[in-house]
């Protein structure tokens, strides 16, 4: 099926209107008319081929997708036409490896990403949510609570689950002290989710200007990491720290904030980070990493957000503003996630 989309032809071309082909609905498929799609920073990295030369073109980014079901395959019973649904970072996996059996498809070596991946079952490339519609295997489609602000739900499918998964895995409990490093698309979701779990949330940042907004989002305190005296007061007091900073940096000051046997989890850094072994050994501390969540956990996150009325803080844009949004994201000029109004695709030349 011919579909209007916005994507890139190569690593240097701007995001522009293009036509792509979506497959016809198969027995186990759900066809979705997309309403909104969030813009993740990884969209820029992939579009510009900044992750080791693995980008595939043409590329239609977008893995924070919310829309309504337009058609279901004959074998699909869990979704119906008109239902509000979401699609996140994956559209398939092998379904039989140890990770898949544990409900952690995100760690399957053969997981199929929503865009910039070869589709082993249907051929060709996967194309993401900067498009009018998408067809996805029902096992990778998610129920979205109808009462939430639909346009602000979209980033939950990546930013939301990226922070929810480590909070759940490290079993955050009410009253625990949780630090979130970095106030951006990921960090602002970490504050909201941890606060809803009952944690004492501390926003850790280098910028004093972010203090008021962090507290508006639910942080109990703001810790300025360049303030040596303040850092010393918080030493050995955190139950968990989640690091969302997306560039190389020194972890050692943050490791000093952890209690004995506690963990700092990396969800942002893909570049090298600096760690002094002695800071881990002397108090049996851990540095760990976390990706997104599996399908079951992502649904759990959406249900949790529905219960606590949690969505992302978003700026909704038209399709012809995607390139400008990319430029602004590189300058950290967004609070806190851009979301494309997909209805604008049809209106753009």
Q: Is 13 helix (H, G, I), strand (E, B) or coil?
A: coil
Residue ranges, CATH 3.90.180.10, the chain: 2-156+313-347
Give dist(CA 349, CA 344) in Å, integer: 10
Q: What parts of the chain have a pLDDT lower than 50?
A: none
Per residue, the 3-state secondary structure of 274-294, as one string, reads ECCHHHHHCCCCEEEECCCCC
Predicted local confidence at residue 177, as pLDDT? 98
Give dist(CA 36, CA 109) in Å, integer: 29
Is the domain 2-156+313-347 a CATH 3.90.1150.10 member? no
Tens digits of residue pLDDT in 138-153: 999 999 999 999 999 9
Going by their DSSP bridges, the two strands 258-266 and 16-21 should be labelled as unpaired
Dihedral pair phi/psi, residue 6, rounded to 5°: -125, 130
Predicted local confidence at residue 349, as pLDDT? 62
Q: Is 270 helix (H, G, I), strand (E, B) or coil?
A: coil
For the record, the structure tokens of 20 come out as: 């792509």
CATH homologous superfamily of 160-289 = NAD(P)-binding Rossmann-like Domain (3.40.50.720)
CA dihedral 171, 173, 176, 178 (to 10 degrees): 50
Give dist(CA 185, CA 166) in Å, integer: 16
The answer to whether the predicted template modeling score (pTM) of the entire model surpasses 0.85 is yes
Predicted local confidence at residue 52, as pLDDT? 82
222-233 in b/e form (b: 16+ CB < 10 A) is bbbbeeeeebee
Tens digits of residue pLDDT in 110-124: 999 999 999 999 999
Residue ranges, CATH 3.40.50.720, the chain: 160-289
> Could you tell me the sign of the dihedral formed by the alpha carbons of 312, 315, 319, 324, in that order?
negative
């Amino acid at each position: 099926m011919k579909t209007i989309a916005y994507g890139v032809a190569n690593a240097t071309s701007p995001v522009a209107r293009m036509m792509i082909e979506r497959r016809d609905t198969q027995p186990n498929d759900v066809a979705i008319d997309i309403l909104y799609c969030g813009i993740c920073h990884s969209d820029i990295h992939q579009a510009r081929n900044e992750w080791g030369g693995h980008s595939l073109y043409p590329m239609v980014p977008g893995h924070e997708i919310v829309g309504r079901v337009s058609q279901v395959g004959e074998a699909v019973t869990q979704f119906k036409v008109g239902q509000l649904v979401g699609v996140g970072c994956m559209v398939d996996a092998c379904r039989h490896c140890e990770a898949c059996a544990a409900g952690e498809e995100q760690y399957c070596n053969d997981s199929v990403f929503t865009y910039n991946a070869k589709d082993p079952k249907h051929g060709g490339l996967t194309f993401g949510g900067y498009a009018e519609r998408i067809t996805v295997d029902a096992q990778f489609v998610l129920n979205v609570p109808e009462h939430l602000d639909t346009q602000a739900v979209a980033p939950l499918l990546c930013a939301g689950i990226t922070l929810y998964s480590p909070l759940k895995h490290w079993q955050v409990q009410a009253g625990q002290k949780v630090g979130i490093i970095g106030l951006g698309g990921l960090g602002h979701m970490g504050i909201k989710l941890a606060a809803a779990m009952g944690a004492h949330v501390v926003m850790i940042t280098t910028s004093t200007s972010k203090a008021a907004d962090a507290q508006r989002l639910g942080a109990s305190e703001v810790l300025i990491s360049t303030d040596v005296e303040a850092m010393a007061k918080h030493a050995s007091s955190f139950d968990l720290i989640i690091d969302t900073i997306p560039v190389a940096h020194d972890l050692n000051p943050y490791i000093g904030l952890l209690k004995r046997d506690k963990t700092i989890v990396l969800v942002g850094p893909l570049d090298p980070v600096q760690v002094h072994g002695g800071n881990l050994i002397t108090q049996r501390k851990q540095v760990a990493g976390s990706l997104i969540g599996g399908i079951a956990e992502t649904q759990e996150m959406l249900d949790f957000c529905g219960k606590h009325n949690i969505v992302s803080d978003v700026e909704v844009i038209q399709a012809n503003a995607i390139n400008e949004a990319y430029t602004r994201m590189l300058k950290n000029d967004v609070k806190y996630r851009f979301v494309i109004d997909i209805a604008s695709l049809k209106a753009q030349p």
